Structure 1
């Protein structure tokens, strides 16, 4: 068995006990990987990272007290030495793009085998990036010049909800959105309620961040100026 200083230090962020225990067992079955901490919630994550000083954080995205996307963003900014490997049930293009923009270095869908997860942990710990085979194909289409249709990125949204989200991401307030779409402000508010539910976000700012990650809300003449805020 390798000494601890030569092992890859990992923190697991996962709220389901059985999956967390199984993942820990799978990781620690390898001599070169050491799980130095666990977090069941976002609130527990800073303490686990501070105590364990991990090289890799294996991140679930759906947690009881918030989104792993925002946690990934904060880790990328505040703990650049801790690479985030997303391991999630979410398999939609919107979540994938949001995780990449937040700074994730790897993205696997739950169901990946033990060897695939171990390979991913080692790769991101060494400074590389790794994605499941199907994910890599989708990234090529979504990020490098392929079609970036919002309906594909956010398949749960209706075409009208995508229009509303796009305008909100441009910084329009509800009144201006209503004027642009020729609908009542109450209708706009109803659309936003449905958008928040479908995207699993708690605020307008978070919805805008998800939209911008997916390429909405930015027109050619707006790039470089930055988006204005709206409420």
Structure 2
């Protein structure tokens, strides 16, 4: 066994995808896959049990969402570097998860060699952040950074859209339909909103956002 073997854990709710990634990484003699998880809580448990160097984490899995999972892992096992591996090429998601402590954000269209390089890079250098996203997303991230000083609050544009529709009494399913996203993504945005506003419910989040003048009393954005 190689002395500097990189131990990797996989967290994705699609068994076939996990098996494919395991087989892909197993072709590298310097990488060992030490376990798999299909939910957020199981991913945290797996990391605590196996103490891998790297966790490959999907964005949408059963459980609290990728953001809370990453924050929990940064608290209980900061030595494990979290690499987000997802189909979501979205600037808001990228920024949120990097802010939570992800070491890399990779879209699932990357090649096998690119994934191996990313795993090796985050395992050897904890002070780096890796991105493999579209030029459009990079441009949006730059735009968000440029206007950060003029932001009306701690919420992203997408989170404000979700909260605005929530304040107008739309259900998660209706919000998902209007914004052309999944219900799981709506739930993830709401989880992030609650965390940022320190809210305990939809009503509490709306009240606090209104008080902070992020949305008006009728649910409209104030940007």
The two structures have a TM-score, normalised by structure 1, of 0.68
Bigger Cα Rg:
1
Q: Post-superposition shift, 1:69?
A: 1.9
Corresponding residue of 1:201: 187
Corresponding residue of 1:226: none
Name structure 1 gaps, 5 residues minimum.
169-173, 175-187, 223-231
CA contact (8 A) 2:44 2:69 kept: no
2:34 equivalent to 1:31? no
CA contact (8 A) 1:92 1:153 kept: no
Name structure 2 gaps, 5 residues minimum.
177-182, 199-208, 215-223
Q: Post-superposition shift, 1:139?
A: 6.5
* Residues in 2 aligned to 1:72 and 1:30: alpha-carbon distance in whole angstroms: 26
Deviates more, 1:127-136 or 1:114-123: 127-136
CA deviations 1:99-142 (Å, max 9, x no partner) are 11111110001111101111111111112221115367347514
* Residues in 1 aligned to 2:6 and 2:51: alpha-carbon distance in whole angstroms: 11
Distance 1:221 1:210, change over 3 A: closer
* Residues in 1 aligned to 2:108 and 2:188: alpha-carbon distance in whole angstroms: 25
Aligned residue for 1:11, secondary structure, equals strand
CA deviations 1:140-197 (Å, max 9, x no partner) are 51453257799x952xx8x8x46727xx9xxxxx6xxxxxxxxxxxxx3237774584
Corresponding residue of 1:42: 40
Aligned residue for 1:111, secondary structure, equals coil
Aligned residue for 2:40, secondary structure, equals coil
* Residues in 2 aligned to 1:104 and 1:26: alpha-carbon distance in whole angstroms: 22
* Residues in 1 aligned to 2:195 and 2:56: alpha-carbon distance in whole angstroms: 22
Distance 1:88 1:192, change over 3 A: closer
* Residues in 1 aligned to 2:188 and 2:67: alpha-carbon distance in whole angstroms: 13
CA contact (8 A) 1:56 1:121 kept: yes
Deviates more, 1:23-32 or 1:134-143: 134-143
CA contact (8 A) 1:10 1:37 kept: yes
CA contact (8 A) 1:164 1:192 kept: no
Q: CA RMSD in A?
A: 3.7
Which runs of structure 2 are paired with 1:208-223 in the superposition (5 Å)?
Answer: 208-209=194-195
CA contact (8 A) 1:98 1:210 kept: no
Q: Post-superposition shift, 1:71?
A: 0.7
Q: Post-superposition shift, 1:45?
A: 1.7
